[in-house]
Amino acid sequence: MSALLDLSISEAAPALRQRQLSSVDLTEACLARIEARDPIYRAFVHVAAEQALAAARAADAALAHGEDLGPLHGIPIGVKDLFDTADMPTTYGSDVFSGHRPQADAAVVARLRAGGAVILGKLETYEFAMVGPVFDRSTPPAANPWKPDHFTGGSSSGSAAAVAGGLLRTALGSDTGGSARSPAAYCGVVGFKPTYGALPLDGVFPLSPSFDHVGFLSASVTEALLTFDAISGRAEKLAGNPLPDLTGIRVGYARNWFAVDPQTHPAMLPAMDAAASLFSLLGARVEEIPLPDVSRFEAAGAVIIHAEAYAGHKALMAQHGERYSRKVFQNILSGLLLDETDLETARQAAVRLTGQVDAHFHSGHDVILTANTLTPALPFPHFQTDAAVWTPMRTLAFNVTGHPVFALPAGFHEGLPLGLQLVGPRHGEARLGAIAQAYEAATDFAAIKPPLP
């Protein structure tokens, strides 16, 4: 039965509809693998076995009566514990909300259920999607399936660990500064952040409303697109339209963002240059482009995130500050130092920077290629310090601009994944997804799996 989990959603879905496979079979296989592996990965904070099996039986019955609810009908999926779920605990990764049960599902969770998806349970997240990993919470951080003594990145930590560890094929995450894309890179899976505002955030605990996105972590580009299709409500479906080749595609290679950065791991530069060369071999025209200094995006983004996070948490911290983990409390409190002038200056900078990125798409580039995280995943002891540790990455910029991004595997170094980003114009998910599928199909990274625990 375990072999069922090696089927992609594109393979499982027709088998479900032809009654060659049941959703109950898939769900039981997931639950068995969670029981066997998740004590090592710590991806799930709540497994809803009874509810999942009931949903699977309902999905099978609907298909038996000719009722097809969508691309994830009968497919098991996990949900980051930042999203409200009415039938299971939702703690937002914090002891402040221990035992909390919302009155309603988040909008995207409700859409998943309406589309026949089977919700397996809730996945680990950094506390309030802020910083981590931390070790002064009642829930331990998720572990990286490639090396369980290493971190996953965050804050969609459990979503990445679950997909990389083969517990499921796709999962909901969120992305405010890279929270879906950095764990995708560290864990060797696909991360997808659609255009800002493409999906509703109702029922998702806010970190920074200006930058918060619903995101996905999936075993492949197609499966990320299918998950988006299942909840987007768009008539145009993104999955199933890969480009046969990339002839005529223009790729802007933002090499200046990482090539001379002293924080860039030595393995990253050859991996990124190899990716650029592969695009060229696939027929694309690759040109180096000078994006604005990444520090300008990060400075503006940090001001906006910290100001909005403090505003959102001020009342809660006054009541329950002692229940926050130390590093999260400290980082949110830093927003107290910012005033409206700081915030307005940062917002104006964000508008200018967004225009400078848009200029590359207006000049004819179809996608921008750049690094995701600048290092492989780090071991847990690296984070056992008094202050928060920020690992170098190039993700926050595209929360500032709101462009859609795919995070894709780019290779390995000493058994740990490396990752890149493909960025498209706003609302250009369809073409971006097709280009990402073409790149993925030309590599074998998705076929390489972590060692069994």
Pairwise CA distance, residues 304 & 310, whole Å: 10
237 is catalytic: no
3-class DSSP assignment, residue 413: strand
Pairwise CA distance, residues 96 & 50, whole Å: 26
DSSP letter, residue 301: H
98 is catalytic: no
In the set 174, 179, 210, 220, the catalytic residue is 179
What is the Cβ-side half-sphere exposure of residue 84, based on CA atoms within 13 angstroms?
17
DSSP letter, residue 450: P
Pairwise CA distance, residues 122 & 293, whole Å: 38
Instruction: Characterise 189 by phi-psi region: left (phi > 0), alpha (psi -120 to 50), beta (else).
Output: beta
DSSP annotation string for 110-175 = HHHHHTT-EEEEEE---GGG-S---SSSSSPPP-BTTBTTB---SSSHHHHHHHHTTS-SEEEEEE
**Chain centroid to CA 84:** 17
DSSP annotation string for 175-199 = ESSSTTHHHHHHHTSEEEE--TTSS
265 contacts 413 by C-beta, under 8 angstroms: yes
Task: Report CA dihedral (78, 83, 84, 89) to the nearest 10 degrees.
Answer: 60
80 is catalytic: yes
Token representation of residue 382? 């690296």
In the set 23, 80, 182, 210, the catalytic residue is 80
> What residues have CB less than 8 Å from 106, skipping those under 6 apart?
83, 84, 85, 202, 203, 204
In the set 22, 23, 94, 155, the catalytic residue is 155
**Chain centroid to CA 61:** 32
Pairwise CA distance, residues 451 & 147, whole Å: 8
**Catalytic residues, which ones?**
80, 155, 179
